């Protein structure tokens, strides 16, 4: 599991670095807002990875704080499983599945970070924040749940994932609505502009 933790940490670090590049480069406040959402998800994924590797659930409430921007008390440390427990083969399968989820989630976070730097306009960058990054975070949370395997920890992780699923699409929608009337999108890259047609119909009404 050490190699998995190192791999995931490196991928998340690169994703975070690329996200910081987009925050610095902008060019608009909305670009920075999208990148900040991705950076927050990368931080949540990194904390979840550490919890999965150490089997220490102490930091899980921090994930809830980051997900809902509220306050929550720190959870209790979960003791390590004893080596003499009978479900060794099941533990091995769950640990392997957790490793796959963690690495896949980190790769998706890395892809989101690359997209924030490489994609040409705000609307395309929104997809990086709303799609691969959210899926990557959910996979990391799933891997963390497979490592911790207690009801309280899994419930906390489910709350984190639910808040992310509830907030990410709404945030992307609001960023898009704020960007469109202020000409912060590249209309030359749009194949179909349904919103423009809708606004034209509204303006033509008496």
Give the span between the Cα atoms of 176 and 180, in whole angstroms: 6
Structurally, the chain folds into a number of domains equal to: 1
The residue range of the domain holding 47 is 2-204
List the chain pLDDT tens, one digit each, 206 residues: 677 777 878 888 888 888 888 888 877 777 777 777 777 777 877 877 777 777 777 776 666 656 654 233 223 334 434 444 444 567 778 888 888 888 888 888 888 888 888 888 877 787 777 777 788 888 888 888 888 888 888 888 888 888 888 887 777 777 777 777 766 677 777 777 777 777 667 666 65
Which residue has tokens 């921090």?
62
How much is the pTM?
0.64
Give the span between the Cα atoms of 57 and 44, in whole angstroms: 13
**DSSP assignment string, 114-151:** HHHHH-SSHHHHHHHHHTHHHHHHHHHHHHHHHHH--H
Kindly report the length of the chain: 206
pLDDT value for 64? 65
- Angle (deg, nearest 10), helices 2-25 and 88-118: 20
Nearest to 125 by CA among 75, 181, 172: 172
First-to-last CA distance in the chain?
A: 67
Contacts 24+ apart (CB under 8 A), 193-198: none
């Amino acid at each position: 599991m050490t190699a998995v933790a190192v791999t995931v940490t490196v991928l998340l670090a690169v994703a975070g670095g690329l996200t910081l590049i987009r925050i610095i480069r902008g060019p608009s406040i909305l670009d920075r807002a999208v990148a900040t959402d991705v950076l927050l998800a990368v931080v949540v994924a990194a904390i979840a990875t550490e919890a999965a590797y150490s089997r220490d659930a102490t930091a899980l409430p921090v994930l809830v704080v980051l997900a809902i921007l509220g306050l929550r008390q720190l959870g209790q440390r979960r003791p390590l499983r004893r080596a003499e427990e009978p479900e060794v083969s099941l533990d091995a399968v769950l640990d392997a599945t957790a490793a796959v989820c963690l690495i896949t989630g980190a790769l998706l976070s890395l892809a989101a970070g690359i997209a924030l730097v490489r994609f040409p306009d705000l609307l395309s960058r929104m997809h990086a924040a709303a799609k691969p990054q959210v899926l990557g975070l959910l996979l990391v949370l799933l891997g963390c749940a497979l490592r911790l395997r207690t009801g309280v920890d899994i419930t906390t992780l489910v709350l984190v994932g639910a808040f992310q699923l509830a907030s990410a699409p709404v945030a992307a929608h609001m960023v898009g609505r704020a960007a469109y009337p202020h000409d912060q999108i590249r209309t030359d890259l749009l194949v179909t502009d349904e919103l423009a047609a809708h606004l034209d119909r509204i303006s033509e009404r008496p």
